[in-house]
Structure 1
Amino acid sequence: MAEVFDLFGNPVEAGTGKPGRPRKEATTEDRNKVKLLLAVGWSNDRIAAVLHMSLPTFRRNFFQELKFRGVARDMLDARRLELAMTAARAGNVGAMRQVDRLVEKFDQMEAERAYAGQKKEAPTEKVGKKVLDETLALDADAALMEELEQETRQSVRH
């Protein structure tokens, strides 16, 4: 029997929509697709919709992949660097440039993480509206007094 495909090129299962439909099983292609979509930040609901399955079925079939959601982007970047390095070793000049760009990007990300770790400011004390209004009034009064003193110094003749 010839395999039937939907509009997007996904195979349509023979028992779809009938009682006793066979259990949806994850393929290697689906697992790779889920890893990629997790790396670019898609939600579980969105990925499940793309794979034409319910959220509980998605979670059951891709439990192992979902455990690595936090590092999926790093794993993707590491794989890109690995492939670029392989091509660069073979003499591909474009791949050598790509390796340089990736290394610079990783250095910048590491510097940003280090900077973010150092810059921890103490939490500021919350100020109420009355205290804030009083502070602003005192600042305005001090500014007015300073302006009056400058005018007085300029107008005094000796």
Structure 2
Amino acid sequence: MSDWDFDLLGDPIPEGHGRRGRPPHIPTDENRRKVMVLAAFDKNEEQIAAALSITPPTLRKHYFRELRSRLEARQRLEGKLLSALVKEVDGGNVSAIDKLFKRLDRHDLAIGNAVQPAKQAKVPKKGKKEAAIEQAHSAHEGSPWANLLKH
């Protein structure tokens, strides 16, 4: 292959392109990463196969391990992104530090461990009639009538 054996999207043109029949698909590490990322973003098999310019049966044949667990793909991708973020934080990247703090806050809120300010108990509001009745029951307090009404 020479330097000009790539299509417009930068993918290598397989040997035998233009002849009868479809050339065999050869899986690469780059394509395996593409499948993992697309599976992590919950793309279906047809969409992933279209992204690789192959058919869904060919996708299942060559990339069955990557397709096996979408949740695992999501966790692996998230782990890779977080480790890259921590590496940037170690380098002193202020933007990365801010993003990591926001990420930790979101995580704390999701699991309910966020430090929240102490909430004061709300006193239920009373209507005009309820307030007047309460005032009528306590009107004698602090007056000379208080001793007479106790008896």
TM-score by length of 1: 0.62
Query: What runs of 5+ residues in structure 2 fail to find an aligned partner?
Result: 113-151
The answer to whether 1:87 aligns with 2:104 is no
SS at match of 2:106: helix
1:23, CA displacement in angstroms?
2.7
Which is higher, the Rg of structure 1 or of structure 2? 2
Q: How far apart, CA to CA, are the structure 1 residues paired with 2:21 and 2:14? A: 13
Q: What amino acid maps onto 1:46 in structure 2?
A: Q
Stretches of 4+ aligned residues off by more than 4 angstroms = 19-22
Task: Answer with 13-22 or 42-51: which moved more.
Answer: 13-22
1:1-158 equivalent positions in 2, closer than 5 A:
1-2=1-2, 3-19=4-20, 22-111=23-112
Aligned residue identity for 1:86: K
User: Quick one: percent identity of the two aligned structures?
Assistant: 34
Asked if the contact 1:87/1:95 (under 8 Å) is kept, the reply is yes
Distance 2:111 2:74 in 1: 15
TM-superposed CA distance for 1:7, in Å, is 2.4
Q: Please identify which structure carries the higher helix content.
A: 1
Q: Number of paired residues?
A: 111
Q: What secondary structure, in the 3-state scheme, does the structure 1 residue paired with 2:25 have? A: coil
Root mean square deviation, CA, Å: 2.0
Segments of structure 1 that go 5 or more residues without pairing to the other structure are: 112-158
Judging changes above 3 Å, is the alpha-carbon distance between structure 1 residues 77 and 104 closer, same or farther for their aligned structure 2 residues?
A: farther
Separation of aligned partners in 1, 2:29 and 2:11: 14
| Residue identity in the other structure for 1:54 | T
Change (3 A) 1:6 1:93: same
Deviation of the 1:14 alpha carbon: 1.8
- Paired with 2:36 and 2:69, the residues of 1 have a C-alpha distance of 9
Report if aligned partners of 1:31, 1:65 keep a CA contact under 8 Å in 2: yes
Query: What's the offset of the Cα at 1:72?
Result: 2.1
